[in-house]
Amino acid sequence: MRENKRDRLARLSKVEHLLYQCPDGLAIDSIAEKCNVSTRTSRRDLEALAAIGVPIWEDKSMRGIVPGYFLPPISFTLPEAMTIFMAARLLLAYSNTYNPNIDSTFVKLNSAVPPPLRDQVATTISWMQKLNKNDQLRRIMDTLAHAWINGRKVRIWYQALGRAEAKDRVIEPYFIQPAALEHANYVIAYCNHAKKMLTFKAERITSIELLEERYSIPADFDANKHFGTAWGISVYGDMVDAELKFKGELATIAAETRWHPSQVNEAQRDGSVIAKFKIQVSHPFIGFILSWGPSVEVLSPKSLRDEVAEEARAVCNIYAGADID
Is 220 found in the same domain as 262? Answer: no
| Model pLDDT, residue 322 | 59
DSSP 205-218: EEEEEEEEEE----
- CATH assignment at residue 220: 2.30.30
Q: Is residue 109 part of a domain?
A: yes
Is 97 found in the same domain as 115? Answer: yes
> How far is 29 from 31, CA to CA, in rounded Å?
5
| Model pLDDT, residue 92 | 72
Question: Which residue pairs, CB below 8 angstroms and at least 24 apart, start in 4-10?
Answer: 8/45
Q: Is residue 210 part of a domain?
A: yes
Of 108, 128, 148, the residue at which a domain comes to its end is 128
| Amino acid at residue number 175 | F
| Model pLDDT, residue 271 | 94
Q: Write out 77-103 in H/E/C secondary structure.
A: CHHHHHHHHHHHHHHHHHHCCECHHHH
Q: What angle do CA 313, 319, 321 make, to 5 degrees?
A: 110
**Considering just the CA atoms, what is the radius of gyration of the chain in Å?**
25
pTM of the model: 0.64
| Model pLDDT, residue 212 | 94
Domain of residue 280 covers 239-319
- CATH assignment at residue 25: 1.10.10.10
| Model pLDDT, residue 3 | 42
Query: How many separate domains does the chain show?
Result: 4
End-to-end CA distance of the chain: 75
- CATH assignment at residue 272: 3.30.70
b/e sequence 77-88, b meaning 16+ C-beta within 10 Å = eeeebeebbeeb
Q: Is residue 233 part of a domain?
A: no
> How far is 252 from 243, CA to CA, in rounded Å?
17
The DSSP element (H or E) to which 150 belongs, if any, is: helix 135-150
Is 221 found in the same domain as 168? Answer: yes
| Mean pLDDT, each 10-residue run in order, the chain (325 residues) | 65 86 90 91 93 89 80 72 80 74 77 77 82 87 92 94 88 89 86 93 93 94 84 76 94 92 94 94 90 94 95 90 58
| Model pLDDT, residue 2 | 44
Cβ–Cβ contacts within 10 Å for residue 194, how many?
10
Is 221 found in the same domain as 191? Answer: yes
Q: Is residue 243 part of a domain?
A: yes
| Model pLDDT, residue 126 | 83
Q: Is residue 154 within 8 Å of residue 171, measured between CB atoms?
A: yes
Q: Is residue 292 within 8 Å of residue 250, measured between CB atoms?
A: yes
| Model pLDDT, residue 48 | 92
